[in-house]
Amino acid sequence: MFATSTPPEGWYQWSSMLFAADVVDIARDGQKAADTITARVIETFKGPQAAGTGTLSVSVSNRYWTNCKVEKPAVGARVLVAMNANSEALLVYRRASRND
């Protein structure tokens, strides 16, 4: 529930890297019961600068979507991706601003 109930400052404190990104691929890893989300970084909020030049891939358990009440993104979706020092990842749809 942390993913949907925590305010932005909680995400910032929890993460060591925080990005806005556009999903370019979603792959299911049946052996690990996980989904790997690959996304093109649009904006870096925390961590190494990757906007416009980098992609990232995060793996989340298939149960993440249900347990955390997070909608699974589709290719093309803008998402917020947070990763902590333990390589744990959170991902949610990012609400677009009027300037996006």
Query: pLDDT of 72-89, one tens digit each?
Result: 899 999 999 999 999 888
SS3 67: helix
At residue 26, does pLDDT exceed 90? yes
Query: pLDDT of 42-74, one tens digit each?
Result: 999 998 887 777 899 999 888 888 888 888 899
CA distance 26 to 36: 6
Structure tokens at 62: 């298939």
CA dihedral sign, ordered 64, 69, 70, 71 = positive
Write down the pLDDT at residue 50.
79
The residues with which 29 forms a beta bridge, in sequence order, are: 34
At residue 100, does pLDDT exceed 80? no
